[in-house]
Chains A and B, each alone.
Chain A
Amino acid sequence: MFFKQTASVKLNDPVLQNALKRAKGKFVDGRALGVAQIDNWEDIRTYAAEMRDRVIANLDAYLIEFEKNATRRGAVVHWAETAEEANAIIAGIALKNNVKAVTKSKSMVSEEVALNDALEAVGVTVLETDLGEYILQLAKEPPSHIVAPAVHKTKEDVAELFVAAHHKPRLTDIAAMTREAREELRGRFLAADMGISGANFIIAETGTTLTVTNEGNADLVTTIPRIHCVITGVEKVIPTLEDFATLIRLLPRSAIGQSIANYLTLTTGVKAPDETDGPEQMHIVLVDAGRTKLVGSDMKEMLRCIRCGACMNHCPVYQNVGGHAYGWVYPGPMGSVLTPTYVGIENAGDLPNAATFCGECQVVCPVKIPLPDLMRKWRERQFDRHLRPIGERLAIGAWSFVVARPALYAFATRIGVRIAAWIGGRSGQIHWLPGIDGWTKGRDMPAPQGSTFRDLYARRRKAA
């Protein structure tokens, strides 16, 4: 993981910086307005957090209930313990049914397991139909945001991609570009053999899978092809439809300030004999891939997450470096907690440290995940396992040793502030200091006044 290095590149990318500034205004101001529409926002958050905790504590029971009800409606529920298993199950369904073309609506779990690669490896063509995901598929890039995957792309970037892919005159009007994409996609929606969707939630009492979109593409993906395949994480289960009614008050508002999303696609089972639309087969692949490791652990709150993106939208680090800097599927604070659970803390060491603990993520989280506390838990593991750089460990060790010994502290700081004040000289600013060059590269270090408070105070008491 090269967060620090990638972040540096991103900080100096003017196009990205512009895109991030625009997005920040939209997400942050949008959410504030959306939340202000509801007078019992905090009550709903509390209810939702408790409901999610209840589900996670009884995950097995709710999943079995879901399986029972989904099966009764003709769906087949598959259990994938690993990413590889999930891919093998879906590739197997495709091969068995002679599937050539797949349409897909947005799914972060499919990004997580790299499903598209697995399907293309067995000769299946995959088309992303969420506009943002479609743009990124053309650009051959991963999403940089879990809700707005192409938020780092400008209109001009997209115009170039469309010219190359669609072989039509270059457009710059967003509405016209969207229409062009829609025309490109429509025929392929109709021709697909299998549709793959994610699920924002799955509902235990009805066996329903549920997808929230603004483009309606999930409607087409889930109803037109003869096979519908859902891929989602095991933690997405919620008890009842009514619980969904609660969560839908939180999700789009938290994401972008919408009171409700344009489309809520609820899919329950296969086409019934008396129905004209819907798939002949429905497969639901429930992916663990490390999630159940968190159940009952000191990071269990992370499983509450409903993937709204509010934590990243409000994170001052994310706002300045964008999602790609985080190096894996999930960016921002939720990614800084999740990524180490998937790839190992030794491979994602910077991420839990990429936070000032300003607390904005926790304040905006619709299910009250204590994200800074969870990042700190990763730091504790890093400290205990000696995974941070030696210099940092020595510095913390030395500081702790000194502050635990008041006489030593008094002596060391007396000398230290005198020297530092001398270095600061007449300007009172230290322009460079080894050991803290991470600070002094971009900022001066205001020099100390020259004596410690304790010494000055003792002197004053003596004089009095």
Chain B
Amino acid sequence: MKVGLFVTCLVDMVRPNIGFATLKLLEDAGCEVVVPAAQTCCGQPGYNSGARAISQQLARKVLAEFKDCDFVVAPSGSCSGQVKVHYVEDLFHDAPDLGEFKKLAAKWFELSDFLINVLKVDNLPGEYAGTVTYHDSCSGLRELGIKSQPRALLAKTGCELAEMNDAEKCCGFGGTFSIKLGEISTRMAENKCVNIAASGAGAIVGGDLGCLLNIEGRLRRNGDDRTKVYHFAEVAAGMVGAGGETGGKMVGK
């Protein structure tokens, strides 16, 4: 089974550790993973900024790069929603090659969904002894129904899940929104931090790096250096120490 890894541009640039954790999870589960070298971005930033033509161009690039894969997996609900929902329902809904995009959408999975519902993994490489709380990122939750899958993965690592209030509430990231309307975005992140603190968890775990950067940025600005911030892939792969939480540390050196 040939599985294409869509790294996502944010993971590529900011936290490669999540990419390697994803790779480990897939390979440990027996997948033959390919990482198309020319991949960059799914086009969502341009799409949500109104740059429709450009986002269509990038979507075609993604389509071409993963054409030969049986499955495509991305450690992001947001990029996956872009491919599975917005390519099909909006960007190419009246295009002659809509069928190709439908095929891409059908074989494309968000990582936790793929591990739980397709691979039906039992054992994970990672063990985690602490208490964590989970933030449901909006696109994954509302566009793809990602809710129980990451929690099921976390449960397999042995960690304790302490649900926070408003776990499904947007953290305020919203891509360019976080910069364009920074003050409102910051308030939303602050609300999230208050709920994280109240949960008593030692780590906040999520499935989308954009949200995690937003939440981590607010935690650190508030002087909270204690609460860990992880992608569930890092926890599930047992790679939380290996350069997670950014920290300027180099991985793979």
Contact surface of A with B, Cβ cutoff 8 Å: 4, 7-8, 11, 316-317, 320-321, 350, 353-360, 362-363, 373, 376, 378-384, 388, 392, 396, 399-400, 402-404, 406, 409, 413, 416-417, 421, 424-429, 436-439, 441-454, 456-460
Residues of B within 8 A of A316 (CB): 169-170, 172, 188
Q: Name B's interface SS.
A: helix
Q: Which of B18-59 contact A (CB under 8 A)?
A: 19-20, 23, 35, 37-41, 43, 45-52, 54, 57-58
Q: Top 8 closest A-B pairs, CB basis?
A: A356-B174, A442-B186, A438-B182, A383-B50, A443-B217, A379-B50, A358-B170, A453-B16
Residues of B within 8 A of A402 (CB): 40
Residue of A nearest to B248 (CB): A428
The 8 Å CB contact of B218, one of A356, A413, A443, A458, is: A443
Interface stretch, picked from B95-103, B116-124, B136-144, B195-203, is B136-144
**What 1/0 mask marks residues of chain B from 48 to 78 whose CB sits below 8 Å from any chain A CB?**
1111101001100100000000000000000
Residue of B nearest to A315 (CB): B170
A452 to B250, CA, bound (A): 10
B186 A441 Cβ-Cβ under 8 A: yes
A11 to B172, CA, bound (A): 14
Interface centre among B19, B49, B51 (most CB of A within 10 A): B49
B245 A416 Cβ-Cβ under 8 A: no
Q: Which of B172-215 contact A (CB under 8 A)?
A: 172-191, 213-214
B178 A439 Cβ-Cβ under 8 A: yes
Residue of B nearest to A426 (CB): B248
Q: Does B161 contact A (CB under 8 A)?
A: no
How many CB-defined contacts (below 8 Å) exist between A and B? Answer: 228
Q: Does B131 contact A (CB under 8 A)?
A: no
Q: Does B249 contact A (CB under 8 A)?
A: yes
A456 B57 Cβ-Cβ under 8 A: no
Residues of A within 8 A of B238 (CB): none
17 more A-B contacts (CB under 8 A) besides A357-B175, A383-B50, A443-B220? A11-B187, A320-B191, A378-B50, A382-B50, A396-B54, A400-B51, A406-B40, A428-B247, A428-B248, A444-B216, A444-B218, A446-B216, A446-B245, A451-B252, A453-B12, A453-B13, A454-B37
A456 B217 Cβ-Cβ under 8 A: no
A396 B138 Cβ-Cβ under 8 A: no
Residue of A nearest to B54 (CB): A400
A444 to B247, CA, bound (A): 12
Q: Does B155 contact A (CB under 8 A)?
A: no
Residue of B nearest to A321 (CB): B184
A444 to B52, CA, bound (A): 31
In the complex, 22 of the A-B residue pairs with CB atoms within 8 angstroms, ordered by the A residue number, are: A4-B181, A316-B169, A317-B184, A353-B177, A354-B184, A356-B177, A359-B138, A379-B50, A383-B51, A388-B50, A396-B45, A429-B217, A439-B179, A439-B182, A442-B190, A443-B221, A446-B213, A446-B245, A447-B248, A448-B14, A450-B249, A456-B20
The distance from the CB of B214 to the nearest CB of chain A, in whole angstroms, is 7
The distance from the CB of A385 to the nearest CB of chain B, in whole angstroms, is 10
Residues of B within 8 A of A356 (CB): 138, 170, 172-175, 177, 185, 188
The 8 Å CB contact of B251, one of A380, A436, A451, is: A451
A358 B218 Cβ-Cβ under 8 A: no
A396 B13 Cβ-Cβ under 8 A: no
Residues of B within 8 A of A427 (CB): 220, 248
Residues of B within 8 A of A406 (CB): 37-40
Q: Does B149 contact A (CB under 8 A)?
A: no
Known: A320-B188, A359-B143, A428-B247. A449 touches B181 (CB 8 A): no
Residues of A within 8 A of B14 (CB): 417, 446, 448-449
Known: A353-B180, A376-B48, A441-B182. A456 touches B172 (CB 8 A): no
B186 A421 Cβ-Cβ under 8 A: no
The 8 Å CB contact of B250, one of A373, A400, A449, is: A449
B50 A381 Cβ-Cβ under 8 A: yes
A426 to B126, CA, bound (A): 27
B249 A449 Cβ-Cβ under 8 A: yes
Residues of A within 8 A of B48 (CB): 357, 376, 379
A458 to B35, CA, bound (A): 10
Residues of A within 8 A of B177 (CB): 353, 355-357
Residues of B within 8 A of A382 (CB): 50
Residues of A within 8 A of B39 (CB): 406
Residues of A within 8 A of B250 (CB): 449-451
The distance from the CB of B32 to the nearest CB of chain A, in whole angstroms, is 14
Q: Does B17 contact A (CB under 8 A)?
A: yes
Known: A403-B40, A443-B186, A454-B12. A449 touches B251 (CB 8 A): yes
Residues of B within 8 A of A358 (CB): 138, 142, 170, 174
Residues of A within 8 A of B184 (CB): 7, 11, 317, 320-321, 354
Known: A356-B170, A449-B250. A380 touches B52 (CB 8 A): yes
Residues of A within 8 A of B243 (CB): 449
Known: A353-B177, A452-B12. A444 touches B217 (CB 8 A): yes
The distance from the CB of A197 to the nearest CB of chain B, in whole angstroms, is 36
Residues of B within 8 A of A400 (CB): 46, 51, 54, 58
A442 B12 Cβ-Cβ under 8 A: no
Known: A428-B246, A429-B217, A444-B220. A384 touches B174 (CB 8 A): no
Q: Does B164 contact A (CB under 8 A)?
A: no
The distance from the CB of A401 to the nearest CB of chain B, in whole angstroms, is 9
B182 A403 Cβ-Cβ under 8 A: no
B174 A456 Cβ-Cβ under 8 A: no
A379 B138 Cβ-Cβ under 8 A: no
A70 to B92, CA, bound (A): 45
Q: Does B111 contact A (CB under 8 A)?
A: no
Residues of B within 8 A of A446 (CB): 14, 213, 216-217, 220, 229, 245-246
The 8 Å CB contact of A359, one of B40, B90, B142, is: B142
Q: Does B7 contact A (CB under 8 A)?
A: yes
Residues of B within 8 A of A320 (CB): 184, 187-188, 191
